[in-house]
Amino acid sequence: MVKDYTRKVTHQNYKNSKKLKKYYHRVEKKLHKKYKIYEKTKRSKESYKLINKDFIVTKHDRWGTTLIGGGVSLCFFLIFIWPSDEPLNGADKFFMVLTFLLTIFFIIYGFTQPYKEHILNRRDGLLTMTGFFWQKNITMPFKKVEFTYSTGGEDGIGAFLLQVSRPKISLHQ
């Protein structure tokens, strides 16, 4: 039995779509009525939780940002507290405190981060994307979603990447 990945629509539009269309690397959508159902290959089994005619659900690396950010900041903090013959100057003390606070931030975020989902609901025409840090997941109609591209990703890939622009989130939606 396949789990139903239908989510409630949380956003209908972008706050400032004119600015978004003007300043970002925008990619125009071409919608087609017919779609192809891709067979699960060895590679797709690693990248996706589910692929069928109704849903495409990708796996989300929950710990990537936390481990990389926390690990780098912890390494820099350990470098600063490593005993040396030279006394710490003001800039060294500032960076030591900054790296300590970043390490604490990533530890707290690691234990309190919400569940993140990436779902393309082809049956209902909805797209669910992650919110930023502690923000909830965002679900929008696919026709209103704006796509952009970037020249690098958080995983170190330097190629062009297709991305979904998140709408600016406010408390009064």
The string of pLDDT tens digits covering residues 91-119 is 888 998 999 999 999 999 999 988 888 88
Domain extents in the chain: 64-112
Reported as a single tens digit per residue, the pLDDT across 32-86 is: 666 555 555 555 556 677 778 888 888 777 788 889 999 999 999 998 888 777 7
CB atoms near residue 36 (< 10 Å): 7
Exposed, middle or buried: residue 100 (CB in 10 Å: 0-12, 13-18, 19+)?
middle
Backbone angles phi and psi of 18, in degrees to 5: -65, -45
Predicted TM-score of the model (pTM): 0.68
CB 9 within 8 A of CB 139: yes
